[in-house]
């Protein structure tokens, strides 16, 4: 009696499923170790977290042993605690949604590679018609699992009432790291990538952003009059990230966004530079994150928003904070000391340098008389730890870092958004 091609393929899948069943404990250990080794969020995990990782691995191995034959079982995985308990625990520990889902992506790659290797071991000659349905089954398996895990994580962090924000954050993470197809990426994110983008981080200084406030921020971003399109996703329990598509001029954008969002006293915004295309989408996001990090360092900074372009040198220096603070102390000397008078002198010298050492322009920014600027600048120069004439660039860098990254309270009447 002859065997049909379909029966032959079924026999191969059944043999692979049997191997997963027989070797279940060993495969579970291997997948558990792979998840820990390849996921930064799991490195150094405690016993409780490792047990949840092992439960996820066991769930996936068992699901493969049961479901690979008839390609069923995806609906049931939503109810399996081993598939979603890890996401819930990561949410409770404050791990951002896209990082939590990246762990499931590691598991997906491992399972796909392992199943394909087992297929080749059982059927060395291969079968071109066998691989596509198996790959499709694994993709559907992880589609169901990540949807369930996303809901668990989102509900735990109370960012959005559904998994939409979590899954969107995961898709954005893929855009930032892997995908190069602009058209496909635009379709996946429902956001146009063929224009200039400005990356934004919005965060609360006082605590959590609850679901209602997140929803309001998302709505406000999409209603901005200077913006052709907006993409917004949760980052963690106190911040969101956004991209604004800007086909026209971006002049005045930071102040405009701040006004339109009706910023509460504790809401802060960090902006990247307007940059084009998919590469710009990634770079402006990195700039916004860097500006946000520096603004976080300056705990007493009062500005409602900060732009990367204004603090780019500080962002570079902040990567080596110990050396940067020694640099500031050496360059500024006694001008680096705390106190109302030295703060006023630092602020005046900084604005004076930012305006090309033009005392009249600096006076207009500071709302003081030109002679007052000249008097304060002279006093600030006397306190410096290095000669001013030979160290203008170093002085400017040190003043910038002292203000934005060391908790300085220097502040002009209102930041300019030229």
Where is pLDDT greater, at 370 or 41? 370
Residue among 108, 98, 90, 94 at smallest CA distance from 42: 90
Residue 232's CB: how many other CB atoms inside 10 A? 22
Question: SS3 for 133?
Answer: helix
- Write the pLDDT tens digit of every residue in 154-202: 666 554 433 345 556 656 766 666 666 777 777 777 888 888 999 999 8
Most confident range, picked from 34-38, 208-212, 303-307: 34-38
- Write the pLDDT tens digit of every residue in 313-372: 766 666 666 667 777 788 888 988 888 899 899 999 988 888 888 899 899 888 999 999
Topology of 5-157 in CATH? Globin-like (1.10.490)
Residue among 160, 259, 245 at smallest CA distance from 211: 160
Question: What does the mean pLDDT of the chain come to?
Answer: 78
- Write the pLDDT tens digit of every residue in 73-120: 555 554 455 678 888 778 766 677 778 888 998 999 999 999 988 888
Using CA of residue 120, residue 122, residue 126, residue 130, what is the dihedral sign? negative
192-311: what CATH class? alpha beta
Distance CA 188, CA 182 (A): 10
Asked, colleague to colleague, whether 5-157 and 320-404 share their fold, the answer is no
Question: SS3 for 269?
Answer: strand
SS (H, E, C) 204-219: ECCCCCCHHHHHHHHH
Distance CA 9, CA 180 (A): 35
Determine the pLDDT at residue 381.
Answer: 92
Distance CA 330, CA 332 (A): 6
Residue 19 sits at the vertex; the CA angle it makes with 14 and 25, to the nearest 5 degrees, is 140
- Write the pLDDT tens digit of every residue in 11-21: 888 888 888 88
Where is pLDDT greater, at 284 or 212? 284
- Residue ranges covered by each domain of the chain: 5-157, 192-311, 320-404
137-to-24, 63, 70, 263 alpha-carbon distances in Å: 19, 11, 10, 47
> Which residues sit opposite 390 in a β-bridge?
none
Determine the pLDDT at residue 405.
Answer: 62
Distance CA 413, CA 365 (A): 8
CATH no. of 320-404:
1.10.10.2840
Residues for the chain: how many in total? 418
In 137-261, where do the E strands start and end? 196-204, 229-236, 239-245
Element (H, E) at 387: none
């Amino acid at each position: 009696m002859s065997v049909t091609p379909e029966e032959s393929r079924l026999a191969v899948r059944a043999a692979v499923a049997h191997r997963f069943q027989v070797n279940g404990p060993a495969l579970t250990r291997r997948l558990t170790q792979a998840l820990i080794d390849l996921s930064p969020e799991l490195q150094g995990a405690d016993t409780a977290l490792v047990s949840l990782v092992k439960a996820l691995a066991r769930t996936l191995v068992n699901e493969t042993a049961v479901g690979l034959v008839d390609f069923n079982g995806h609906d049931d995985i939503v109810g399996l605690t081993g598939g979603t308990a890890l996401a819930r625990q990561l949410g409770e520990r404050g791990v951002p949604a896209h990082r939590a889902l990246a762990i499931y992506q590691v598991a997906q790659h491992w399972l796909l590679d392992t199943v394909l290797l087992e297929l080749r071991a059982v059927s060395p000659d291969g079968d071109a018609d066998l691989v596509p349905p198996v790959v499709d089954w694994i993709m559907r398996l992880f589609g169901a699992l990540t949807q369930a895990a996303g809901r668990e994580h989102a509900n735990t962090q109370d960012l959005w009432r559904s998994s939409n924000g979590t899954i969107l954050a995961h898709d954005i993470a893929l855009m930032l790291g892997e995908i190069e197809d602009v058209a496909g990426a635009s379709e996946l994110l429902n956001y146009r990538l063929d224009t200039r983008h400005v990356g934004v981080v919005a965060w609360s200084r006082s605590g959590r952003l609850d679901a209602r406030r997140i929803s309001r921020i998302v709505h406000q971003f999409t209603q901005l009059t200077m913006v052709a399109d907006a993409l917004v996703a949760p980052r963690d329990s106190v911040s969101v990230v956004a991209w604004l598509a800007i086909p026209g001029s971006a002049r005045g954008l930071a102040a405009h966004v701040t006004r339109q969002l009706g910023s509460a006293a504790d809401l802060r915004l960090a902006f990247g530079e307007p940059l084009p295309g998919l590469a710009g989408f990634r770079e402006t996001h990195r700039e916004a994150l860097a500006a946000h990090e520096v603004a976080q360092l300056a705990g007493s900074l009062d500005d409602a928003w900060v732009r990367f372009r204004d603090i780019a040198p500080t962002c570079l220096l902040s990567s080596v904070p110990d050396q940067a603070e020694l640099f500031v102390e050496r360059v500024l000397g006694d001008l680096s000391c705390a106190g109302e008078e030295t703060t006023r002198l630092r602020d005046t010298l900084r604005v004076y340098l930012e305006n090309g050492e033009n005392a009249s322009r600096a006076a207009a920014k500071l709302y003081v008389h030109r002679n007052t600027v000249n008097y304060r600048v002279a006093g600030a120069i006397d306190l410096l730890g290095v000669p001013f004439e030979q160290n203008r660039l170093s002085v400017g860098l040190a003043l910038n870092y002292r203000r934005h990254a060391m908790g300085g309270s220097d502040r002009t009447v209102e930041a300019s958004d030229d």
